[in-house]
Copies of this chain bind each other. A is one copy, B any other.
Amino acid sequence: MKIKVVRQILEWNENCHDELHKNFDDKKVLVINVMGSPGGGKTTFITRIIEVLRNEYKLGVIEGDLAGKIDAEKIAKMGIPVVQLNTEGACHIEAMSIKNIIPNFDLEDLDILIIENIGNLVCPAEFDIGEDLKIAMLSVPEGDDKVEKYPLMFSKADALIISKYDMKEYFDFDEERVINNTKAINKEATFFKVNSSNGEGIAEFLIWIRKYIKK
């Protein structure tokens, strides 16, 4: 059966990301934009890396959600400075929001700012929010066909983290399909396989991220 393919077009707006990049470079703050589907494991991963990085670096976190402050509460409980950004329905974080939040942090005294974007495999990838590194997360239960279906996110990632890796035995998940399809559209990405619930694979990511510290 022949499949008809119809196109829907959308335009995006410019924003103030250049100013943010300059500010973060001047203050030598490494900014990490963590993206992925809802429930892909972003927050658990972030709390895992904080546990180690906090011993060496000054950290700050911005938690993006449509509503509520569930994730910010988890970070605050660790004693890490955190701001909850509620987008009130919006599907991604915009640079302007980061600019508005920055005065809540002392950038002079910050080494790493971790931004957890809205759980969404589409829109966040479109927006430069002043980050140095885009971290894309794909959890095993989501399936191995996501690179073909949501190519932009994977094409822009500096690192692709395959999360909930311990679930591999319960799902038909071909990690080579994910990695090869990503490599086909992204020559620069580095790949990690992690299980944030027990910490497996976190050490490899930390070795990688340390190379980008600016201070």
Contacts and interface: CB of A to CB of B under 8 A. Distances in A.
Contacts of A5: 69, 84-86
Nearest to A79: B1
B142 A38 contact: yes
Given A6-B84, A6-B100, A167-B170, 10 more contacts: A3-B73, A5-B85, A6-B83, A8-B88, A10-B87, A10-B89, A10-B90, A37-B121, A39-B141, A170-B170
B66 A152 contact: yes
Interface string A85-127: 1111111011011001100100000000000001111110010
Interface in A1-18: 1, 3-10
A199 interface: no
A196 to B, nearest CB: 13
B150 A119 contact: yes
Contacts of A142: 37-40, 141
A32 to B, nearest CB: 19
Q: Tell me the interface secondary structure of chain A in the complex.
A: mixed
Interface of A: 1, 3-10, 37-40, 65-73, 76-77, 79, 81-91, 93-94, 96-97, 100-101, 104, 118-123, 126, 139, 141-143, 145-146, 148-152, 164, 167, 170
Q: How many copies altogether?
A: 2
26 contacts: A1-B81, A3-B72, A3-B73, A3-B83, A4-B83, A5-B69, A5-B84, A6-B100, A7-B86, A7-B87, A7-B88, A8-B86, A8-B87, A10-B88, A10-B89, A37-B39, A37-B119, A37-B121, A38-B121, A38-B149, A39-B142, A40-B142, A65-B149, A68-B149, A119-B150, A120-B120
A91 B120 contact: yes
A91 B91 contact: yes
A123 B123 contact: yes
A68 B149 CA distance: 6
Contacts of A94: 8
A8 B38 contact: no
